[in-house]
Structure 1
């Protein structure tokens, strides 16, 4: 086993536009696919911007780009744009890379491939250790990458994350070929690469963790106003909202419906680093929720959505029976192929087709419905016969 401390990545930190142009030339002169990664400051800053971008290609050293110091990534995008990009858990990094004008033309996702291969552990450190025999230290994965200057051990960690990706890709690809899953993986990679960004929910405050415990329109109104006040302050200060007051504090205050500013201050469950320093702000929000005529009702389903499947056995027993029969067959097939059941077919797709199956539920009709829902061809080919057979008795 090779320890991380034994590796020398010879990385370069790029902090101005001239250095970026030289790095772009070096990467363009390298060979093979490009390892790419990005570090954000999730849990520390308001947004999900990249605070460091890493790239490595055989024949060139790892380059670490500081977006806070660079005016444009256009030269880099032009230099590497036509090559395959290797990312680990690409769906996490593509949005922040896209915001910088960096978009992979083709993608190889080592984490997604590891899932399709049935690996028990799919984190980067786990598969690097099992396939390459290198023990990575993951101590800085949840660090505040927005701080400057970045400590050298963090930069070394960031460089290794991409320096190993080409070798890891080759090892994972060999396993995909041995298991006959290469085409499955390529379809999944393209689906991740081209997936549109999710639209912002109409009422994002309803995503409050624990908010389901609030039952009355007035408590929901207080929660909404506190969420909006926190979001505005977090945006203003460029801080993650939970670092001001956590969701649990908003829910506790909304449930308590305090009668005064002092009542809010005495509420033990109302805590957080800004719970007292911004008490006047929070009390104004509570007052707005207590006095508004715009009272929110219970959460409504979006048009075209289906009821939560947990309630099907009581309210929609036929749909529940179809779902149970189809899922049993798909679980068995997933186990046989050593693919996680959620990767063999997205659970939402299975629920949608069992909630309202085509009439008649022929294999062709089921396949067409799965295609419309966004299932990939390899998923459709495997699961359509299973679903069609499970509908025979209904």
Structure 2
């Protein structure tokens, strides 16, 4: 889109707002229509993050040439494996696919081929890659994005929410086609295809050994007895949230957990004096919170958590200069190389090469520094072939230069 072109608001789906499919008969008709359609299948999913426990889909939107748009309610149609099979040969178009693929997989929809319009935008150097911005910048159409953070578990869904949901897939294939052409023109199509395949091949993350350590504000907690309070409160909150199907933060905010760990309240009255415990949901479980704090206080020393969880990677980069000055110099040199290459190819540094791969390479570099060993190390760290091809030689030169100068 040029500056002279007028942005056109996208206000209504072309065929109107589709009826929500919530039964087997409606789903069967949708499957038949999409199987008979042609070309890519645009897909989006709406969740209720911040409202419900977990990240499952509460609405799935699809569009395909010849089939039109469809809105499917996974609460009424919890198994989309037959739809998945019906379009198994089609390319699926998503925006920010890594966010939607897990919840789609839960209901049996697993794309074999994919085009991610957000990831394509990153590789092409767009500064803002939200769907609304991309549609406006590339197609000259304006999407209203007012309901993205809504509680999509609401039933019935309001008409304006359904309109918003249908419009999310209305021009997704057109956006894909425009970005595909730009990828071809820029010589980045093969890079994008490798990235899309890597996203599809990424397995679900393993459960965290200490998920409670991700409590916001836990860095304020300095002793292991207080950490035990965080752990007990977090675990109690998670149990209640799972049973009530509520987002954990709606049961008890992280700020309440951290404050209780710091203040160690011994009575319900002391708990009520912590402002973060005054919410209606938090007050409902005062006995549970106090029991959790009491359990942590009574734990023998041998059952207290360690000050920090052991990691399998390098320490935080801000500690490198003290712990290993040579590694800190290698990291600085490697980051400079990656930043220069990212600037040359007009994309974010994290898309040119994953920051974790850069850290691990420079913390424990290969014993022999040559293009082949560095390339193999990058592959072992998850780098794609196009990334290895761009970065292995420049990184080898930069690291070898430091060794030659005796700086590491």
Same fold (TM over 0.5): yes
Corresponding position of 2:294: 287
Q: Secondary structure at the match of 1:391?
A: helix
1:5 is displaced (CA, Å) by 2.0
> Match for residue 373 of structure 2?
365
Q: CA deviation at 1:72?
A: 2.8
What do the CA deviations read for 1:329-383 (whole angstroms, capped 9, x no partner)? 1101111110100000000001101111111111100000011111000000001
Q: Deviations over 1:247-277 (max 9, x none)?
A: 0110000100113221111123444332222
Query: Residues of 2 paired with 1:226 and 1:367: CA distance?
Result: 46
From 88, 100, 112, the equivalent of 1:105 is 112
Measure, in 2, the Cα distance between the counterparts of 1:75 and 1:269: 46
Question: Is 2:193 the counterpart of 1:186?
Answer: yes
User: In the alignment, does 2:85 pair up with 1:88?
Assistant: no
8 Å Cα contact 2:314-2:363 kept in structure 1? yes
**Under a length normalisation based on structure 1, what TM-score does the superposition of the two structures give?**
0.97
Bigger drift between 15-24 and 269-278 goes to 269-278
Structure 2 counterpart of 1:340: 348
Q: Output the CA distance in 2 between the equivalents of 1:143 and 1:71.
A: 21
Tell me the C-alpha RMSD between the 2 structures: 1.2
Q: Matches of 1:165 and 1:111 in 2, distance apart?
A: 11
The answer on whether the counterparts of 1:208 and 1:247 sit within 8 Å (CA) in structure 2 is yes
Report if the CA contact (8 A) 2:12-2:163 is conserved: no
**Cα distance in 1 between the residues matched to 2:13 and 2:54:** 33
Residue 4 to residue 273, structure 1, CA distance change in 2 (3 Å): farther
Equivalent position SS for 1:53:
strand
Alpha-carbon spacing, 1:386–1:355, altered in 2? closer, same or farther (3 Å)? same
Is contact 2:217–2:258 with CA below 8 Å preserved after alignment?
A: yes
Report how far residue 93 of structure 1 moved. Answer: 0.4
**Using the alignment, how far apart are the partners of 1:257 and 1:76 within structure 2?**
53
- In the other structure, the counterpart of 2:154 is 147
The residue that corresponds to 1:297 in the other structure is: 306
Give how far 1:221 is off.
0.8
Assess if the C-alpha contact under 8 Å between 1:9 and 1:160 holds in 2: no
CA contact (8 A) 1:34 1:86 kept: yes
Query: CA-to-partner distance for each residue in 1:299-338, whole Å, 9 max, x for gaps?
Result: 1323x32111110011110000011111111101111110
Asked if the contact 2:94–2:117 (Cα under 8 Å) also holds between the matched residues in 1, the reply is: yes
Query: What is the SS of the residue equivalent to 2:205?
Result: coil
Unaligned runs of 5+ in 2: 1-6, 404-408
CA separation of 1:97 and 1:7: change in aligned 2, threshold 3 A:
closer
Q: How does 1:112-123 map to 2 (within 5 A)?
A: 112-123=119-130
**Is this contact kept in 2: 1:36–1:85, CA < 8 A?**
yes
Distance 1:209 1:148 in 2: 31
Partner in structure 2 of residue 156 of structure 1: 163
CA distance in 2, matches of 1:42, 1:364: 44
- In the TM superposition, what is the alpha-carbon distance from 1:71 to its structure 2 partner? 5.0
Q: Deviations 1:151-191 (Å, cap 9, x if unpaired)?
A: 11111111111121110100111111111110110000001
Report if the CA contact (8 A) 1:330-1:383 is conserved.
yes
Q: Deviations over 1:94-143 (max 9, x none)?
A: 00000111000101000000000010110000010111111110001000
User: Helix, strand or coil: the match of 1:33?
Assistant: strand
| Aligned partners of 1:17 and 1:71 also within 8 Å | no
Aligned to 1:64: 71
Aligned length: 393
| Conserved? CA contact 2:61–2:165, under 8 Å | yes
Is the CA contact 2:314–2:360 (under 8 Å) kept in the aligned structure 1?
yes
State the partner residue of 1:211: 218
Unaligned runs of 5+ in 1: none
Distance in 1, Cα, partners of 2:222 & 2:177: 53
Give the secondary structure class of the aligned counterpart of 2:46: strand
Are the counterparts in 1 of residues 13 and 166 from structure 2 also a CA contact under 8 Å? Answer: no
